[in-house]
């Protein structure tokens, strides 16, 4: 049994979708949603947990959607990467207003607003107690921010990927459409793939599976849920070996 306020994880990667920053509407930037996230992140940092964050950009622009509407796919993906930088800066502002020192690192060079992604520098920031936000995805088109999250988690030695969603875990079908949908407390990588449960896209999921990186899918919109996950409570769904 984990002791109160004794974290199970010491270094975590939190994957935030762009829609999460958009609040209930999931579009644009919602200051209330950002400040709620900042408070939750501040809570776990106070436990001595090192936090890195990867943000999506779907609340502003999604490359795949753009390509479906006639924008060249690579161009659309770069536009999506720029959207993640906007979100990273908004989240940085919210965190620092809540007293949390933060650095933004970008996979796309833009020296005026963010540091370039340098793995050793990111780790040093963590050791100094700063939260590091990774923007710009992987810096390459055709890769999602889920893949960026899996990649960065392995690069910086995170112990777990925490995928924040608006549902309380992984279900065997859409719980909004099927009231009888079954929620998993724990599931193996293999079962999640075979059942096509859509935890992450296949590239991201394969990276986690190959490197034995556990994934926890949980509802960030319940107060203190992030802290509960970090303390090792049974929150959301654990994907592991």
**pLDDT band at residue 25, thresholds of 50, 70 and 90?**
confident
Please state which of the four CATH numbers 3.90.25.10, 3.20.20.140, 3.40.1160.10, 3.30.70.990 is assigned to the domain occupying 11-240: 3.40.1160.10
Question: Which among 166, 165, 170 is positioned nearest to 189, based on CA atoms?
Answer: 170
All structural domains of the chain with their residue ranges: 11-240
pLDDT score of 203 more than 80: yes
pLDDT score of 211 more than 90: yes
Determine the pLDDT at residue 1.
45
Return the SS3 of 164.
Answer: strand
Are the C-beta atoms of 158 and 150 separated by less than 8 Å? no
Share of the chain above pLDDT 70, in %: 98
User: Residues with Cβ < 8 Å from 228, sequence gap 6 or more?
Assistant: 235
Q: List, for residues 39-94, the tens digit of each pLDDT value.
A: 999 999 999 999 999 999 999 998 888 888 999 999 999 999 999 999 999 999 99
Determine the pLDDT at residue 108.
96
Determine the pLDDT at residue 225.
95
Mean local confidence (pLDDT), 194-214: 90
User: Which residue bears the tokens 């859509």?
Assistant: 198
pLDDT score of 132 more than 60: yes
Determine the pLDDT at residue 4.
62
Q: List, for residues 91-116, the tens digit of each pLDDT value.
A: 999 999 999 999 999 999 999 999 99
Higher pLDDT, 107 or 196: 107
Return the SS3 of 162.
Answer: strand
Return the SS3 of 126.
Answer: helix
Bridge partners (DSSP) of residue 133 are: 53, 104
Determine the pLDDT at residue 100.
97
- In this structure, the number of other CB atoms found within 10 A of the CB of residue 20 comes to 25
């Amino acid at each position: 049994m984990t002791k109160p306020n004794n974290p199970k994880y010491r270094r975590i990667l939190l994957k935030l979708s762009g829609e999460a920053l958009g609040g209930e509407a999931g579009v644009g930037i919602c200051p209330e949603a950002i400040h709620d996230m900042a408070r939750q992140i501040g809570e776990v940092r106070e436990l001595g947990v090192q936090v890195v964050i990867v943000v999506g950009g779907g609340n502003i622009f999604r490359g795949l959607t753009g390509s479906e509407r006639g924008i060249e796919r690579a161009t659309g993906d770069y536009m999506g990467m720029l959207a993640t930088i906007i979100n990273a800066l908004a989240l940085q502002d919210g965190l620092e207003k809540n007293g949390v020192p933060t650095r933004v690192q970008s996979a796309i060079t833009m020296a005026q607003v963010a540091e370039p992604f340098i793995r050793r520098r990111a780790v040093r920031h963590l050791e100094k107690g700063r939260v590091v936000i990774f923007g710009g995805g992987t810096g390459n088109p055709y890769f999602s921010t889920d893949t960026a999250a899996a990649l960065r988690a392995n690069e910086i030695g995170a112990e777990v990927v925490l995928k924040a969603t608006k549902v309380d875990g992984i279900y065997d079908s859409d719980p909004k459409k099927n009231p009888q949908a079954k929620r998993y407390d724990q599931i193996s990588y293999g079962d999640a793939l075979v059942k096509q449960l859509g935890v992450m896209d296949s590239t991201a999921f394969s990276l986690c599976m190959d490197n034995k990186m556990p994934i926890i899918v949980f509802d960030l919109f319940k107060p203190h849920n992030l802290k509960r996950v970090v303390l090792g409570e049974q929150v959301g769904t654990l994907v592991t070996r």
